[in-house]
């Protein structure tokens, strides 16, 4: 069975600090996708990134970066120079990939509440 | 594209009443998912469809919950009768074969 663990529940930082959100996953599949979603106070779920299990390259998008390490089953998310607008709940998620390449369900972690203080 | 559209955004109902939540997926997407979000259980999958056919309904909590997808552009999640413990935010998401998932804005259900 799939499982996503986000051990941190709440993180509070001061604006301009860097912050890393941890994600550890479990799956028996060799092919899978990993995701990060952001849920701001308004409540919607905003897609941030998708990574497939064969691509371990780190990715950077502006102030956001992701570190994928299959050896430790981790997919961590770092926000550099955090801003108040980054305050939200962040979810890591995992999905299997069927042998046909088709989608399967997303399994979410419990989420990390990030508060960025001015 | 208008994205995944859910209605209503908020629903307040009395215990015992029937509640129907609606979802219009992104045109062309062949997968549709219903998730429920609560403080205690987080985001959990209730059911998902592929080409309008239910694939996995193991997350549906009990017989009071039912979901249908009569065509590629519409799905409903029905609770009958509703109970206070059904209070949650219900998300619909759609995806295209092999690609990412797009979520709707959610329906906040309160059962009093």
pLDDT tens, B51-68? 999 988 999 988 999 999
Phi, psi (rounded to 5 degrees) for B31: -120, 145
Q: Picking from A7-16, A94-103, B54-63, B88-97, which range would have the lowest pLDDT averaged per residue?
A: A94-103
Cis-peptide into A84, omega within 30 deg: no
Cis-peptide into A115, omega within 30 deg: no
Instruction: Find the closest chain A residue to B59 by CA distance.
Output: A105
Which one of A89-93, B60-64, B92-96 scores highest in mean pLDDT?
A89-93
Q: Which of A44, A101, A108 sits opposite B43 (nearest CB)?
A: A108
- Residues contacting B41, CB < 8 A, separation 6+: none
Cα→Cα distances B53→A61, B7, B75, Å: 37, 21, 11
Q: What percent of chain A has pLDDT over 70?
A: 95
Question: How far does A54 lie from chain B, in Å, by closest CA?
Answer: 15
- Residues contacting A86, CB < 8 A, separation 6+: A79, A114, A116
Q: What percent of chain B has pLDDT over 70?
A: 97
Average pLDDT (A59-75) is 93
pLDDT attached to residue B98 = 62
Residue from B9, B49, B95, B101 whose CB has the most chain A CBs within 10 Å, to mutate? B101
List b or e across A37-50, with b for residues whose CB sees 16 or more CB atoms inside 10 angstroms: bbbeeeeebeebbe
The verdict on A43 touching B (C-beta cutoff 8 Å) is yes
Is residue B78 predicted with pLDDT exceeding 60? yes
Q: Residue B89: pLDDT band by 50, 70, 90 thresholds? A: very high
Q: Say if residue B106 is exposed, middle or buried (CB neighbours under 10 Å; 0-12, 13-18, 19+).
A: buried
Q: B-chain residues within 8 Å CB-CB of A50?
A: 100
- Give pLDDT tens digits for A17-39: 999 999 999 998 888 899 999 99
pLDDT, greater one: A56 or B104: B104
CB pair distance less than 8 Å for A106 and B33: yes
Instruction: Find the closest chain B residue to A3 by CA distance.
Output: B44
CB pair distance less than 8 Å for A97 and B103: no
Q: Are A45 and A57 in contact (CB under 8 A)?
A: no
What does the alpha-carbon distance between residue B106 and residue B5 come to, in Å, rounded to a whole number?
Answer: 9
Question: How far does A99 lie from chain B, in Å, by closest CA?
Answer: 11
Question: How far does A42 lie from chain B, in Å, by closest CA?
Answer: 9
The verdict on A85 touching B (C-beta cutoff 8 Å) is no
- Give pLDDT tens digits for B7-43: 999 999 999 999 999 999 999 999 999 999 999 999 9
pLDDT attached to residue A102 = 56
What does the alpha-carbon distance between residue A71 and residue B84 come to, in Å, rounded to a whole number?
Answer: 44
Q: Report the Cα–Cα distance between both ends of chain A, in Å, rounded.
A: 41
pLDDT attached to residue B1 = 63
What does the alpha-carbon distance between residue B79 and residue B66 come to, in Å, rounded to a whole number?
Answer: 7
What does the alpha-carbon distance between residue B85 and residue B83 come to, in Å, rounded to a whole number?
Answer: 5
């Amino acid at each position: 069975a799939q499982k996503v663990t986000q051990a941190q529940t709440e993180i509070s930082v001061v604006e301009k600090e860097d912050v890393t959100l941890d994600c550890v996953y479990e799956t028996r599949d060799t092919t899978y996708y990993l995701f990060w979603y952001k849920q701001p106070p308004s409540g919607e779920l905003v897609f941030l990134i998708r990574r497939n299990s064969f691509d371990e390259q780190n990715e950077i998008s502006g102030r956001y970066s992701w570190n994928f390490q299959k050896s430790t089953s981790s997919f961590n998310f770092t926000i550099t120079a955090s801003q108040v607008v980054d305050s939200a709940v962040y979810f890591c998620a995992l999905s299997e990939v069927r042998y046909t390449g088709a989608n399967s369900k997303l399994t979410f972690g419990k989420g990390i509440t990030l508060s960025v203080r001015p | 594209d208008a994205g995944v559209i859910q209605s209503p955004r908020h629903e307040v109902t009395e215990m015992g009443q029937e509640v129907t939540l609606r979802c219009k997926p992104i045109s062309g997407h062949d997968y549709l998912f219903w998730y429920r979000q609560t403080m205690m259980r987080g985001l959990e999958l209730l059911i998902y469809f592929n080409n309008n056919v239910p694939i996995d309904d193991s997350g549906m909590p009990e017989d009071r919950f039912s979901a249908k997808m009569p065509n590629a552009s519409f799905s409903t999640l029905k609770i009958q009768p509703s109970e206070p413990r059904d209070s949650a935010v219900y998300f619909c998401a759609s995806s295209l074969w092999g690609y990412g998932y797009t979520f709707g804005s959610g329906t906040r259900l309160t059962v009093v």
